[in-house]
Each structure stands twice: as structure tokens, then as C-alpha cells.
Amino acid sequence: MMTDKNSMGRRLRELRKAKGLTQVDVAAALDVSRSHITQVELGADPGFSTFIQLAKFYDVSLDYLFSGRAETSTILSTNINCQAPYTAEELALIELWREMNEGQRELLLSMIEKAVRLNVA
């Protein structure tokens, strides 16, 4: 299965921002140039060595970086309803959610809340 390199770059950017780091911080930790980190986040091939370093740095699996398959150690929430393992459908929803803009997310949440409330009533 091939991955979309832009998706991998997006995951790397999200991981970096979630840790409150700059591209300079990541580049210094991996001993690479900031421009290399920029290019990788934009979809360039990081090279095998950097790929491994990035996975170790962010404490995620190579599979997660490459394909986006969630793993419990990096994505778990304390909410019992968000515990792994995730189904393929849940992972697909997460991937789509990350591609949405804020307006689309608000609309989707509103629709889901209404659908759930209809089933509860």
C-alpha cells in the first residue's frame, strides 16, 4: 500500500505542533537542516535514516508515520470511549476529520449530535 507523502508530512507537522515545537527544534534534535524538515512536512521523502529518527523522536511507530494507522501509545485519550483499538471506520473518520476545515467540523459534529439524540429519544 502506497502512502500519500503529503499525508505523512501533515502527520509530522501535527505531531510537531502538538508538542509545541518549531521546525528549528526538530531539526536541531535530529541534526538536520530546518529546510529539510520543511520539505519533509511538505511531502518530500525524508530518507530512511531521518524517517527512523522522526519516529523515535515523536515516539510513534514507522507504520503510523507512513500510513497513519493509529497506535495506542500516541493517540489514547483518558476518555474510556476513546480507548484503542480503533476500528477501520474510526480511523477513516479521524483521517477525514483532519482534512476538514473548522466549518466542516462544526457541521459534522452538529449532525452527529442530532443523530445520536434521535436514537436516544
Tell me what pLDDT residue 76 has. 42
Tell me what pLDDT residue 84 has. 61
Amino acid at 8: M
Tell me what pLDDT residue 78 has. 45
pLDDT in tens, the chain (121 residues): 345 667 889 999 999 998 899 999 999 999 999 999 999 999 898 988 898 899 889 888 888 888 887 654 444 444 556 666 677 787 788 888 888 888 888 888 888 888 888 766 5
| Exposed/middle/buried for residue 95 (C-beta within 10 Å: 0-12, 13-18, 19+) | middle
Measured torsion, CA atoms of residues 85, 117, 92, 94, in degrees rounded to the nearest 10: -80
**Who's near 42: CB < 8 A, 6+ residues apart?**
6, 9
Tell me what pLDDT residue 16 has. 92
Tell me what pLDDT residue 28 has. 94
Overall pTM > 0.95: no
Tell me what pLDDT residue 5 has. 61
- Give the distance from CA 94 to its chain's centroid: 9
Q: How many CA atoms lie within 13 A of 39 on its CB side?
A: 11
Tell me what pLDDT residue 120 has. 63
